[in-house]
Structure formats: structure tokens, C-alpha cells
Amino acid sequence: MIQKSKSNSRLQTILSMVILSILLIIGAGIWITQSQFNPAVLQKGAFLPEPNKSKPSSQLSSNPHFLPLPEGIKPLTEAEVFDAGNLSDKIDGKAELYLSAGFNRLVSQRFKDDGKGDMWMEAFVYDMGNSQNAFSVFSTQRREGSETLDLAENAYRTPNAVFLTRGRYYVEIIASKVFGPGRQPAKLMAETFVKNTPSEKAALNESASFPEEGLVKNSIALIASNAFGFEGFDKIYTAQYEFKDHSLMAYLSRRVSSSKAKEMAEAYAKFLLAFGGKEIEGNLDIKDARLIEVLDTYEMFFWKGPYLAGVRDAATADQAKMLAKRLYDRLKE
């Protein structure tokens, strides 16, 4: 009996060690997975993980968009290329935003500035097919508290990054730390990118069609698809307005013809009414306009020529009518 008891004890010890080893391996795998950087979900106060420094920078080639590199900046990793099939491997959680906006390819690479100690940067160059698609992903992800930069069609910076569009490209250059005063390596790289990348003929952009009174600065954005939860509502430009301490939105989209604009407006009205909207009858001062109350807010929209346009999130019917009329008059111009 004693011999058998000792044998069982040894077996239990061996099993315990095996189980403990498996748990350690699983834990290590989870830690490695969680340490992978996702640039699309970078938030204030969160920066990039340390890169693999096993390969000397002198042996690395650079993305040609950044050549010649600004003085003191060297490649830290090889460039990586991602297409629609594996984009989620790099930016899991945000890939659909890019794919729905016409994404073609992403080239990403990490760089180091010798003058900034252990700080380094990662550059993300998204080929979005055309300038309209590039503006869509740029505008829908604009960071709060950013500073506009006058170096490309659309550009701004935050304490640790620069974001811009150039023709069909959307570019992010994100550093592992806040830059601080003095030399701004991400801005230097952005300037090199702009210099090396010819500006292309811009795709049709309705940004200038919004009335200026009450318009919130830098609020114009482009929703690539399924705007406001309505399937098929694509390429919708939006802009925020402030009136009497209340925020509301204007939107517009150029369709292929006036008949298509009318068709889309009628389909959108059915969508709102099906989800509990209540139509408000009366003189709206705009031909073919609809005014619908939805969840204690008011939405007014209309079609004029090839344009579908409207106002949403208004606090009162009069507020919706006022901004809709300004938008209508702007489109007439």
C-alpha cells in the first residue's frame, strides 16, 4: 500500500508540473498578443510598443515616399505591406472602416530619430484609391484638440502624431512618445512625403456646399457607407452646426441624377417612419422637403437636382427649417 501511495504521489506531481507548464505557455501567448500595436485605436495617453531592434537600421530599406529621409531619421524595421485580405492583421477592429471606403493597400514602417533618444515613429500610408476615399477615413477619425497644419490637402497634428491626405493617400505618422518642444520628426517626414507625392486631380468634393454661418470648424466629414444606419446611404458629407448652444448636423450627397436623389430621399423617409418617426405636415418653404420627428428631435431633408440634402438632430422644427433653408439656398448658388 505504501509503495502504491508513493507511486500515485509521483504521478500527481508530474501531472501538476505539466499543467503548470501549459498555463505558463498560454499566459505568454496572451501577453504577446495583447502587446501588438493597433494604430486605429490609439487613444490619448496610449503609445506604441517597443519595436524589434534585432536588425541594424543600416541594412533596412525605406518606403520611397519618405526618401531621402530627413537628417537623423533612420528606418528601424522593414516596410510591411497589407491588402484587403490581411488588413485586419494590422488594424484589427477598424479594418472595415477602411475597406468600406475603398481601401487598396497599406504600407507601414517604423523609424527612429537619433536626436530624440529612445523615441521612434511608425508611418502608415493608406492607398485609398482616390482623394474622396482618403478624406473619408481622415475626417471620420479626426482627433479632438488637434492643430491644423498647412502642408497638404488636409493635415493636422496631435502631441505625438501627424495625420494628412495627399491625393489618394491617407497618412498617419505616430510616435511612441510626445514630441515636446524643438525638432518635430513626424512633421519633417510628412513634409518629405508631400514633396515626393504629386497631388492628383481631386474627386468631387461637396465640402464647399455647406453654409458658413454657425458651421463648427473642422467638423466636415464624409461617411463612406450606411450613414445614420440606413443601408445604401453612401458618400454622405456631414457638417456640425451650433445654434443657441445646441448642436445639429447638416448633410448632403450628390447622386448620379435627380431621379436617384429623389428615390433615395423617399427610401430614407420610409426608413425613418418604419422606426417610429412621425411626419410633420405643413408649409416647409422648400419643394419636395420632408420633416420628420424622431426620438424628440427633428429631421428635415429634400432633393434638389442631383443633390440629396438635409438636417438632423434639431431641437425644434423651426431650427430644422432654418438650417435646411440655408442649405437649400446654398445649393441653388
| Structural domains of the chain, with CATH | 57-196 (3.30.200.100), 207-332 (3.40.1000.20)
3-state secondary structure of 23: helix
The pLDDT value recorded for residue 196 is: 92
The pLDDT value recorded for residue 16 is: 57
The pLDDT value recorded for residue 39 is: 39
CB neighbour list of residue 125: distance below 8 Å, 6 or more residues apart: 63, 65, 106, 107, 108, 169, 171, 193
Residue 184, all three cell numbers? 518635430
Beta strands in 208-267 (DSSP E): 221-223, 236-243, 246-254
Q: How far apart, in whole angstroms, are the C-alpha atoms of residue 246 and residue 243? A: 5
Residue 268, all three cell numbers? 430614407
The pLDDT value recorded for residue 205 is: 67
The pLDDT value recorded for residue 17 is: 57
The pLDDT value recorded for residue 41 is: 35
Residue 188, all three cell numbers? 519633417
The pLDDT value recorded for residue 208 is: 82
HSE-CB for 245 with a 13 A CA cutoff: 0
CB neighbour list of residue 95: distance below 8 Å, 6 or more residues apart: 40, 87, 88
CB neighbour list of residue 153: distance below 8 Å, 6 or more residues apart: 131, 135, 164, 165, 166, 167, 199, 202
The pLDDT value recorded for residue 182 is: 66
Class of residue 194 by CB neighbours under 10 A (exposed 0-12, middle 13-18, buried 19+): buried
For the chain (333 residues), the mean pLDDT of every run of 10, in chain order, is: 47 54 48 37 42 54 83 92 94 90 95 85 95 93 88 91 95 89 86 90 73 92 93 92 90 94 95 94 88 95 94 95 95 84
